[in-house]
Amino acid sequence: MATYPSDYRYTREHEWVVAKDDIATVGITDYAQHELGDVVYAGLPEVGKTVKAGDILGSVESVKTMSDIYAPVSGSVVEINATLADNPEKINQDAHGAGWLARIKLTDAGELSALLDAPAYQAFIAEKDSSA
């Protein structure tokens, strides 16, 4: 079973976010990449795009399906992981590290506290798996 970094926060839609100062790095969880299968394309937002928590941030396409990625926090996109254009498989290889999708300059750091911590996220996916 994957380990989920304890300093990250998680959504019920399987995104993760970790903030340093007022910049939040966003990606999809190991659980999400495993469910998707082999990722073949990452549709990333444009730098400068303003998003609200819950807005569609981008998408990830795999051999099985296409899935929207939702912004876990509000702010302005300041950087995207351009290496994913040629290497989308990084999402499968290192979902919680090199497979990050975008960095967002936070407009409300308080939104982070509304997200799940690692134990709560792990309980959420365990419950989801047991009811499947």
List, in order of start, the domains of the chain with CATH numbers: 9-131 (2.40.50.100)
Question: Nearest to residue 20, comparing CAs of 98, 104, 117, 130?
Answer: 104
In the chain, which stretches have pLDDT less than 70? 1, 132
pTM: 0.94
Alpha helices in 22-117 (DSSP H): 30-36, 90-93
Q: What is the pLDDT of residue 37?
A: 95
Q: What is the pLDDT of residue 132?
A: 63
Question: Nearest to residue 4, comparing CAs of 26, 30, 33?
Answer: 30
Q: What is the pLDDT of residue 128?
A: 80
Q: Alpha-carbon distance 103 to 101, whole Å?
A: 7
End-to-end CA distance of the chain: 17
For the chain, where are the E strands, in sequence order? 9-10, 15-20, 23-28, 39-43, 50-51, 56-62, 66-70, 75-80, 102-106
Q: Alpha-carbon distance 41 to 51, whole Å?
A: 21
Q: What is the pLDDT of residue 19?
A: 97
